[in-house]
Each structure stands twice: as structure tokens, then as C-alpha cells.
Amino acid sequence: MVTRLSISTDSREQLVDVTGQVQEVLRTSGVDSGVVTLFVPHTTAAVTINEKADPSVVADLLKGLSEIIPHRAAYYRHVEGNSDAHIKASLLGSALQVLAENGELVLGTWQGIYFCEFDGPRSRKLWVKITPD
């Protein structure tokens, strides 16, 4: 079964910590151990793991990506003006796996799971699929 989480973003670019929501899906499923697959059904958003302790890390991540991939560039041909968001989506990726043990997500000490908005604000979805052992 695929659980469809709703995420609301409120700026053009934003990293939303969804670790708690994903953990809640795992808890509700009753699954003890397995693999959790996260999937973003959008082409201008992504999912990644990075530091949850210091918010300046995710701010630097967004800024760093925008330094590499400018919002406006003479070579973009896509008329919607969001080619940068599409490129960032492919760079960070639409799918991610996290492991589960003893009914809990197992993550490193500093890790959080982030939904990555690159063309908001929008109402978004994050799909969660649990494959039990």
C-alpha cells in the first residue's frame, strides 16, 4: 500500500523536514523492519537527506543549488520559466530509500528527511511505500 502524505510549501524554494511524518506512516503500518521507499510525484520537487540540527545547512544547500543552476538563463527554452526547478529535481532525485528496524526509521544522528520544493508555493504529495522483511 502506498501512503500519500500532503505537504504544503510556502515559498518558491524550501526544504520541509518530513522525518516525523514518514516515521508516523511506519508506526501506523505496524511493520517492524524493512525498506521504506519515498517517491515524489512532481517534476519540480525532490526528496533528500541532510542535516537536521543546524538550519543553516539546508539554507546553504538551497543557495548552493541556485548558484549552480540559475533561476533565469538565456539557454532555457521551456516557457514556464521553471527549468531550474526541473534540473534541481533530477539532481536531487525523485526517490529515496530509508531503512526500518524495530518499528523505527534508522537514520544517522544528524540526518533528517527533507521534501525539496523548487517551484512553490504549492500543495504537494510525498508517497511512502513500506516493503516489510
Interface ranges with a second copy (CB under 8 A): 1-2, 33-35, 37, 39-43, 48-51, 54, 56-57, 59-61, 63-65, 67-69, 73, 75-80, 83-84, 86-87, 89-99, 101, 106-111, 125, 127, 129, 131, 133
Nearer to a second copy, 21 or 94 (CB): 94
Smallest distance from a second copy to CB 91, Å: 6
Smallest distance from a second copy to CB 10, Å: 21
Nearer to a second copy, 24 or 76 (CB): 76
CB count, 10 Å around CB of 2? 10
Smallest distance from a second copy to CB 24, Å: 19
Instruction: Cell 511512502: give the residue.
Output: 128
Residues in the chain: 133
Residues 6+ apart with CB under 8 A from 64: none
CA 130, distance to chain mean position in Å, is 17
Asked if residues 31 and 100 have their Cβ atoms less than 8 Å apart, the reply is yes
Smallest distance from a second copy to CB 112, Å: 9
Which amino acid does the sequence have at 38?
A: L
Nearer to a second copy, 18 or 65 (CB): 65
Nearest to 21 by CA among 43, 6, 41, 42: 6
